[in-house]
Amino acid sequence: MESYKSEFIDFMVESDVLKFGDFTLKSGRKSPFFMNAGAYVTGSQLKRLGEYYAKAIHDNYGDDFDVFFGPAYKGIPLAVVTAIAYSELYGKEVRYCSDRKEAKDHGDRVVMIEDVTTSGKSMEETVPKVRGAADVEIVGLMVSLNRMEVGQGGKVSALDEIKEKYGFEGKAIVTMAEVTEYLYNREHNGRVVINDEIKAAIDKYYEEYGCK
């Protein structure tokens, strides 16, 4: 696993963004884990978050794009901090836009940025907005965590469904499999985040909702 991935997993736990227990998601699914990107609130947290997104985007998509698109409202700060980090880390100026500040230049190559995609439903609203604003090409989507669950069709993952439906790749800084493997029985600030009980609950969840 790349070092930025393990660092990002530690960062999610430290920031109380990734939690384990018993949660009901917007999709109605009962989940043993929950990610809330709204818990990133401080300047230093947002700075680090932008750096992890920038590294993952560079890792997966290289440098051939012009704009970061962050869907309102959660995606807006993500696009902003990623643009800042990308400039600092790779010396490339990338513009940002959102539903409130649309891409206007024809021919722009766009990377979309979201916090997490559980079912892929958010893309039904976002993709037409991006493509309707100007003649742009969507290079891909970057989310922080791939939950590795079946999408709305119930057969393949939400990110795979997005590729089938819209024709671009969906990637994540880390997958839930990487998170589980890294945190299982690992002590983190004096406690084990994923113990045997939580690991069993995660395994059971993926038996029902995981990608085959």
By annotation, the residues acting in catalysis are: 104, 106
Q: Do the beta carbons of residue 110 and residue 103 sit within 8 Å?
A: yes
Report how far apart, in Å, the C-alpha atoms of 6 and of each of 17, 62, 163, 195 are.
15, 21, 26, 18
- Reduce the DSSP state of residue 50 to 3 states and report it: helix
Cα separation, 194 vs 197, in Å, equals 8
Query: Exposure of 78 by Cβ count < 10 A (0-12 exposed, 13-18 middle, 19+ buried)?
Result: buried
138 SS3 class: strand
Q: Which two tokens stand for residue 150?
A: 């079946």
Residue 36, number of CB atoms within 10 A of its CB: 15
Backbone angles phi, psi at 17, to 5 degrees: -90, -40
Measured distance CA(28)–CA(62) in Å, rounded: 36
The three-class DSSP label of residue 201 is helix
